[in-house]
């Protein structure tokens, strides 16, 4: 396997943390070969039981995507970003998309029956939408009060805050709607 956190169509690597070892993956004729620190394995494509694609931004990287692959009760995560320095996380959009697309193609060729899931779990998604609704009601109430009391600067602040909140959280909610997909129709919103 390569030690460089770069990718080709059949290889992909990333560093999940600055001081940790690179997580390395390779698509072989035998299956998905992986190494993460001192753990490693090779999962035949037909033994992979589930794949979950999701959008998982973090403070250092607002465009981070994640693929969770499960087999025999084990799960490995494949992230679309890699740590470069203490302050820099680098996106690997093209390499990640190519690798995940090729993984799905090989699984389809092998006749895999894996569950293909998109977004976050339904309970997590529902709780997130409920919190968003509560925050929206609170902001609307405060805005109405600001207008009725003549606090127009406070109202403008609330409008700005609401716009920023929608911009930051809206993409996460829209992209991570729970669902299923097929090998031939990967969700474009969950790939960079």
19: helix, strand or coil: coil
Structure-block tokens of residue 36: 């993460």
* In the predicted structure, residue 54 carries a pLDDT above the cut 70: yes
Q: In this predicted structure, what is the pLDDT of residue 165? A: 82
Q: In this predicted structure, what is the pLDDT of residue 86? A: 67
User: By the 8 A CB rule, do 39 and 48 touch?
Assistant: no
Structure-block tokens of residue 92: 């690997």
Q: Which residue has the tokens 């001081």?
A: 19
* In the predicted structure, residue 53 carries a pLDDT above the cut 90: yes
Give tens-digit pLDDT for 58-103. Answer: 766 678 899 999 998 999 999 998 887 766 778 888 999 999 999 9
**Cα atoms found within 13 Å of the Cα of residue 20, Cβ hemisphere only:** 15
Q: In this predicted structure, what is the pLDDT of residue 19? A: 80
């Amino acid at each position: 396997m390569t030690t460089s956190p770069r990718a080709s169509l059949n290889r992909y690597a990333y560093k999940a943390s600055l001081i940790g070892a690179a997580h390395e993956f390779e698509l072989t004729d035998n299956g998905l070969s992986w190494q993460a620190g001192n753990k490693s394995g090779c999962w035949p494509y037909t033994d992979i039981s589930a794949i979950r694609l999701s959008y998982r931004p973090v403070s250092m990287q607002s465009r981070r995507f994640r693929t969770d692959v499960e087999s025999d009760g084990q799960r490995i995560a494949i992230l679309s970003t890699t740590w470069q320095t203490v302050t820099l996380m680098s996106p690997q959009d093209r390499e990640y998309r190519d690798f995940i697309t090729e993984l799905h193609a090989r699984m389809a060729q092998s006749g895999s029956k894996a569950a293909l899931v998109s977004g976050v779990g339904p309970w997590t998604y529902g709780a997130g939408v409920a919190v968003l609704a509560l925050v929206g009601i609170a902001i609307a109430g405060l805005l109405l009060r600001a207008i009725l009391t003549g606090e127009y600067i406070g109202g403008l602040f609330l409008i700005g805050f609401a716009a920023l909140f929608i911009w930051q959280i809206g993409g996460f909610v829209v992209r991570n709607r729970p669902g299923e997909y097929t090998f031939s129709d990967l969700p474009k919103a969950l790939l960079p």
